[in-house]
Amino acid sequence: MTRKADAEKAIRSLASQWARKNGIAAGSADMPSFDDFRSWLGSEGYSHYLDFRSVMGPLEDTERWFDEELKQTWRN
């Protein structure tokens, strides 16, 4: 199991990396897909970063970090 702080650091970095690879600019009017990002994490061998303790749940925290990193919190 990954520590939550380590998972957050990795997810934020990986979200930016994923966005660059897919031509998505931070703050874009287009809504990047968290489900696509999550699938990419699995295919690239990073799914272990989704395994941490969380009150809200790992996927909820991960999606929030994804949205914050890509400046998409306006859509929530």
For 3-50, write each residue's pLDDT tens digit. 999 999 999 999 999 999 999 887 766 778 999 999 999 999 999 999
Distance CA 35, CA 37 (A): 5
What lies within 8 Å, CB to CB, of 52 at 6+ separation is: 1, 2, 3, 4, 6, 7, 58, 61
Taking the complete model, does pTM exceed 0.85, yes or no? yes
Secondary structure of residue 70 in the 3-state scheme: coil
Token pair belonging to 53: 């303790």
Residue identified by tokens 């990954």 is 2
Confidence of residue 72 (pLDDT cuts 50, 70, 90): confident
